[in-house]
Structure 1
């Protein structure tokens, strides 16, 4: 099967391909085979992108989609308030059905906004049935997804059996021949458990060939990266989420190890983590990546994340250019997931994970500088078409083959049931009260 994306403004994010003011992209069996100013392919199905921006799909390498039912309720929350609300109050009442519908709609939301690859950082941790419900949802959504299985908040139990079980299930290609769903491990940090437990988890991840992700933040009195470094636990397969407050020497340790950093700028600025580490990471030789984190507190699209990171860093030192942000959200994030050979740029030989962005909408028109326009004025409403491995999953601004009303009704029912069981209000006045320390 051949498809030809024709006549678009191609932003490839591949220096060898470059940008094309008017270009075509040929796709065969889901793989990009040619990118050129004009391609003659009379037997291909034509996707008319005339005058629109054609670019790689976004890559979100850190999102907790199980919280999708509570969108917006935490806009005013600090981090301790969020932790008490999501982990201490509502999470104990989640059933597998709640996990399934929240994960499915969270993944569809990401696809709708142009995120073709998403790492779902799962830490509901209620049992195997909940894990399987999240996996089923990610399989049902037609995106490229990574199920990142993590222990629950302040959960100190062994998780090796869970990891081995899910790893075996996802390695069974009879269940998923598309190759679009893979696995990672959400490690616990040394501040959450003992260094011996972290060492055991890292060793098992090495044994199973799993990439890992780890949340870290420092107030300046702790040195979580240095402790991992001291025990030989830094890997080039680990993404460190947030990393606010760690020392410059710790950033250098990450760079030397080949690790990556995932910045969630909106959450970090609003919840009190401190300034995003974008500029400091670059100074240490790290390529930052961008992620959404939690939609109870922030928007779920990469356009918003790019703008927040851009504005924060420019406000600090005037650094960064618009293309940097686009790279953080595409090829750099794909590399952090170990998927840069398959996605993250419009490159012959890679899977066709591509989005087409409208340029005629008044909110972005006229598009004089396509990259600048995407970063400064882009929004999900402009995403007209989304392809994942060559399959069109969004067309003319609407997801293909998705019964949204029924799913939305399920999510509302889930939200309301959990809220009633947890005794929380849904009238805009819910503000968790963490204990004073």
Structure 2
């Protein structure tokens, strides 16, 4: 028997066309099957009906870069720069983490994300230190109800990476490498080739120094995800845009930890499609509303305009462009038939009579996340997690 959920009478922000007030969203077996008014007649007996009157429905947010295992360290690094981070977090804390601890940390990180409306997370996972760690992390994500792309952080563990690459469904695999900006060029090329041969998205931290070399070597492309890029030039940003390379910025962490000015504007101006990430929670809230507003403020300061860029345009950085950056561009990121039913029901804007996407970006917080669905299953209902 099919499992159906009907979200009724919502103001839908589809992300793929005009906003749709007074609209229903019908989900069948985890897939959005219809978006239109008056869908109750199409619902099967036993369909769960969620009254969304006064609420705003968007695609679930996609966190395109997070080190999920660091969830228990939240708040420990308010004044922590990169040298201390490498020593204390990636040194001491990481190497003390057992598989059981990795599982518990992953469950906590997933819960924090879901509570804030993040339905998909790309986990750049330093914690995949053994097959037992990898299994613990995957199992924790499966139990949490979130959609996760687990970036294996040890490319030398080829058998474990291959095992992760074979996964399908709500929790899938990727490869997380150091990258040529911070490591050996030949090693980075070999790792990128290995990941590509497995059909994986390959993620790397990057300052921007090797973008042109990657381009000249024919190594840029949609299955390569470069994160941060604070030093990228306008010309190199154009190379990334022209090759469709996935780019992710984490503006709040980049500012707090001294990475440099966000590259979002340079990337967007060049025609790239930058996504946003939380990155770490040692000094940063576990939601994407703050990075959205930080990006909006920075962009408005650059343009000197009260309306450029439009706030609504930034919403795609945590929906459609986020999905694309983690290799799920055809799976999630918009509210339209055929996409997986990852949805947010947001409170606080029911008094508005016009478009709401800009208000979601400029005004809402994680406390406005009322109900969350992943794969058509309710994981947060009326303000409370149920997984």
TM-score bin, normalised by smaller chain: over 0.9
1:120 aligns with 2:123: yes
Partner of 1:66 in structure 2? 69
Deviation at 1:169, TM superposition (A): 4.7
Partner of 1:312 in structure 2? 298
Partner of 1:418 in structure 2? none
The one of 298, 311, 316 aligned to 1:327: 316
Partner of 2:330 in structure 1? 341
Q: Distance in 2 between matches of 1:229 and 1:347?
A: 34
The one of 189, 198, 201 aligned to 1:208: 198
The one of 94, 102, 107 aligned to 2:105: 102
Deviation at 1:92, TM superposition (A): 2.1
1:168 aligns with 2:163: yes
Which has the larger Rg?
1
The one of 85, 89, 92 aligned to 2:88: 85
1:389 aligns with 2:375: yes
Deviation at 1:260, TM superposition (A): 1.7
The one of 3, 6, 18 aligned to 2:5: 3
2:49 is paired with a residue whose SS is strand
The one of 228, 233, 236 aligned to 1:242: 228
TM-score (norm 2): 0.93
**Does the CA-based 8 Å contact 1:367-1:373 persist in structure 2?**
no
Aligned residues: 378
Q: Distance in 2 between matches of 1:32 and 1:315?
A: 38
The one of 189, 199, 214 aligned to 2:189: 199
1:184 is paired with a residue whose SS is strand
**Structure 2: any 5+ residue segments left out of the alignment?**
none
Deviation at 1:216, TM superposition (A): 0.7
CA offset digits 1:117-170 (Å, max 9, x no partner): 11111013533322222222112211111001123xxxxxxx34x243243255
The farther-off stretch of 164-173 and 254-263 is: 164-173
Aligned ranges for residues 247-262 of structure 1 at < 5 Å? 247-262=233-248
Aligned ranges for residues 358-369 of structure 1 at < 5 Å? 358-359=347-348, 366-367=351-352, 369=355
Deviation at 1:311, TM superposition (A): 0.9
CA offset digits 1:204-230 (Å, max 9, x no partner): 112111111110125xxxx22122223
1:339 is paired with a residue whose SS is coil
**Does the CA-based 8 Å contact 2:182-2:206 persist in structure 1?**
no
Partner of 2:28 in structure 1? 28
Aligned ranges for residues 387-426 of structure 1 at < 5 Å? 387-400=373-386, 402=387
**Structure 1: any 5+ residue segments left out of the alignment?**
152-158, 174-178, 403-437
Deviation at 1:231, TM superposition (A): 2.7
Partner of 1:427 in structure 2? none
Q: Distance in 2 between matches of 1:191 and 1:170?
A: 25
Q: CA RMSD in A?
A: 1.8
TM-score (norm 1): 0.82
Deviation at 1:42, TM superposition (A): 5.2
